[in-house]
Amino acid sequence: MRNLACNVAGIPFKNPIVMASGTFGFGQEYAKLYDINKLGGISCKGLTLHPRKGNPGTRVWETAGGMLNSVGLENPGIDAFLEEEMKFWETIEPVKIANLGGSNIEEYVLGALKITKDAEERRRQNQRAVDMIELNISCPNVKEGGMAFGVKTAVAREVIREVRQVTSLPLAVKLSPNAENIVDMAVMCEDEGAECVSLVNTFSGMKIDIYQRRSVFHNMYAGLSGPSIKPVALRMVHQVAQQVTIPVMGMGGIASASDVIEFIMAGAEVVQVGTYNFMNLRAGEELLAGIRSFMELENIQSLDEIRGIIQ
Ligand SMILES: Cc1cc2nc3c(=O)[nH]c(=O)nc-3n(C[C@H](O)[C@H](O)[C@H](O)COP(=O)(O)O)c2cc1C
């Protein structure tokens, strides 16, 4: 047996495959297709304090080697998540990551508080609960004219500092590749007490309908993900992993077991798989089988033997 076990902030993952926020819902639909208990973890669809309907108009567009999305954080809100979706999450084994967004600092703080209190209560009752918060700082900051929190390090620092104070749960900060300096951003997260950084979120992109002479998206720009972003995402994960001591969850365009291995060699503790879930409905299961056969072929006993070997 090969050892695929990983550890982020003291939380054991049975393997490095974590499903990325917004591409796996809460896992219930995929559970009909394969045994999702095989997965290392699941990051849920981005949650906000209040329910959100998401963006009007076109929401997704296929691109060469990827997709653009402008879903706009459609979600049932934290209360509904805790009341409804947690019933399913209580029954499954993968590490449970609550992805949290907000339009201002208060929303992030109140959201983190609710998730934390619920997790503490469930743990007291020996129930499964959220294991970790993943802070999505790519949300537009309403007070700053809509610029994402994760672009400027000083703005992101405020959010992380405030959330850090109200949660006992391990905190992962999900970095935007649109940050002015993603390495500075990651170092700041570690300084502020985050236990982990996850990267990358989607790249800001655009698609124009040349006949209608307008962007296909209501909000003009949309987030690019999928295989086309992988080389850039991998470079960013490598740069960040060199500069922080906290674990890195690496993602961006993973669509094969060899992609997973590249991210681990670049220094990621675990990886997240996003768009590939739309391309291959059994992505998780197939990636795991591929990692195992690579380890056998290369006679690797544990992922620790190859993690971060690219210096
Ligand atoms: C349709 C869609 C919805 C997404 N929703 C969220 C979200 O709610 N919160 C978040 O942090 N990231 C969200 N993401 C970003 C992904 O989690 C991931 O960071 C990104 O897509 C890059 O990985 P990939 O190339 O493997 O998809 C979303 C991505 C897609 C494609």
- In sequence order, what are the beta bridge partners of 19? 42, 273
CB-CB contact of 229 with 203 (8 Å): yes
CB-CB contact of 251 with 176 (8 Å): no
What percent of the chain lies above the pLDDT cut of 90? Answer: 98
Q: Which two tokens stand for residue 100?
A: 């949290």
- In sequence order, what are the beta bridge partners of 95? 41
Residue type, 223: G
* Residue ranges at the known binding site for FMN: 21, 45-46, 99, 136, 174, 200, 226, 252-253, 274-275
What percent of the chain lies above the pLDDT cut of 70? Answer: 100
pLDDT (mean) for 70-89 = 96
Q: Which residues contact 263 (CB under 8 A, 6 or more apart)?
A: 234, 237, 250, 251, 254, 271
What is the rounded distance in angstroms from the CA atom of residue 190 to the CA atom of residue 171?
10
pLDDT tens digit string along 118-162?
Answer: 999 999 999 999 999 999 999 999 888 889 999 999 999 999 999
In this structure, the residues whose C-beta lies within 6 A of any atom of ligand 1 are: 20-23, 45-46, 69, 71, 73, 99, 136, 174, 201-202, 225-226, 229, 251-254, 273-276
Q: How far is the CA of 125 from the centre of ligand 1 (A)?
A: 33
pLDDT tens digit string along 184-243?
Answer: 999 999 999 999 999 999 999 999 999 999 999 999 999 999 999 999 999 999 999 999
What is the rounded distance in angstroms from the CA atom of residue 64 to the CA atom of residue 272?
21
> Three-state SS for 61?
strand
Which of 269, 223, 246 has its CA nearest to residue 173?
Answer: 246
The pTM (predicted TM-score) of the whole model is 0.98
DSSP state of 84: I
pLDDT (mean) for 5-28 = 97
Judged against a pLDDT cut of 90, whether residue 52 lies above it is answered with: yes
CB-CB contact of 27 with 294 (8 Å): no
Catalytic residue among 6, 44, 139, 196: 139
Judged against a pLDDT cut of 90, whether residue 170 lies above it is answered with: yes
Residue type, 172: A
* Segment (H or E) for 241: helix 230-243
CB-CB contact of 43 with 272 (8 Å): yes
